[in-house]
Structure 1
Amino acid sequence: MSDETETGGDDGAEEVPAEVRERIESDPFCEKLGIELVDLGPGTATLELTVTEDMLNFHGTPHGGAVYSLADAAFAAASNSHGTTAVALETNMSYLDAVDVGDTLRAEARETHMAGRTAEYQIPVTDDGDRVATFRGRVYRFVD
């Protein structure tokens, strides 16, 4: 059997270890920004962030870094959900639409490819169901 798999979420065969879930839920940076974990499964994570006035940039619009941080947190949660430490190798973000103060953004991370020590994730960020950004990332996994 090959260790290369095409994945897309929970097939019921694996659960997120309790200690991993607790570590992800207690992320201090997410707590500071108000990012909340909504759902966590093997290779998947859904997080939300309500945009506040203290996230505005000098143009008076929500800072792209806030949107990026939400997507990056979902990426980190999904990629570490298997209980194996995973760190980012590369990420990129495409901003598709502006958001406003008061909007609740949702980032849904999904593992799209895993092969040995690396894995790939795609994270659409939506506002009320409309995609406002797409984040893509690859991780290095510290497997034995």
Structure 2
Amino acid sequence: MTEDTSAAGEDGVEEEVAARIRSDAFCETLGIELAVVEPGYAVTELVVTEDLLNFHGTPHGGAVYSVADAAFAAASNSRGDPAVALETNMSYLDAVDVGDRLTATAEETHVGGRTAEYEVEVTAEGDRVATFRGRVYLLDA
């Protein structure tokens, strides 16, 4: 992920988490950027490029999934305690196009014991294109 020093909410733990997430080689390869990280909340962005097309010549669903997963990872690790995914689910609602800026917004919806749940909404130019739900295992809870 590329560094964006203007990201809101970064102080203390969030700053450390943001630095770790921005060093993710997979996200960097795709061009996913971390825009915001706060406790239980994160926003990631990805501009759809020709490099992200599938064999049909349309943007690959894996790119949409990846921007949502990156927001999920950032939000679930935003308190500084390590969290690992247990399960995820994605619903694709609309197509995206080359040039679209995808924005994934992840919000914590439940924390209980050793697990937490998150919902992520993915938009393209303001229109909702996918929803994502994920559950994590909190390693140090």
| TM-score normalised per structure 2 | 0.89
Per-residue CA distance 1:67-105 (angstroms, 9 max, x = gap):
000000110010001111100000000000000000000
Question: Does the alignment pair 1:77 with 2:74?
Answer: yes
Which digits, 9 at most, give the CA deviation of each residue in 1:15-55, with x for residues without a partner?
63432221112111111100001110001100000000011
Matched, 1:95 2:95: no
2:106 equivalent to 1:137: no
Task: Describe the SS at the equivalent of 2:118.
Answer: strand
CA distance, structure 2, for counterparts of residue 95 and residue 17 of structure 1: 30
Higher RCO (C-alpha under 8 Å, 6+ residues apart) = 1
SS at match of 1:73: helix
Residue 143 of structure 1, CA deviation: 1.8
Corresponding position of 1:54? 51
Match status 1:65 vs 2:62 = yes
Unaligned 5+ segments in structure 1 are: 1-11
> Hey, what's the Cα distance between the residues in 2 that align with 1:63 and 1:16?
33
- Please give the alpha-carbon distance, in whole angstroms, between the structure 2 residues aligned to 1:25 and 1:57: 26
C-alpha spacing 1:139/1:26, structure 2 compared with 1 (3 Å): same
What is the RMSD computed on CA atoms of the aligned residues?
1.5
**What one-letter code is carried by the residue in structure 1 that aligns with 2:116?**
A
Letter in 2 for 1:56: L
Equivalent AA in structure 1 for residue 130 of structure 2: A
For structure 2, the 5+ residue unaligned runs are 1-8
1:20 partner SS: helix
Q: Secondary structure at the match of 1:70?
A: helix
The secondary structure found in structure 1 opposite 2:80 is coil
Partner deviation per Cα, 1:76-135 (whole Å, 9 max, x = no partner): 010001111100000000000000000000000000000011000000000121100000
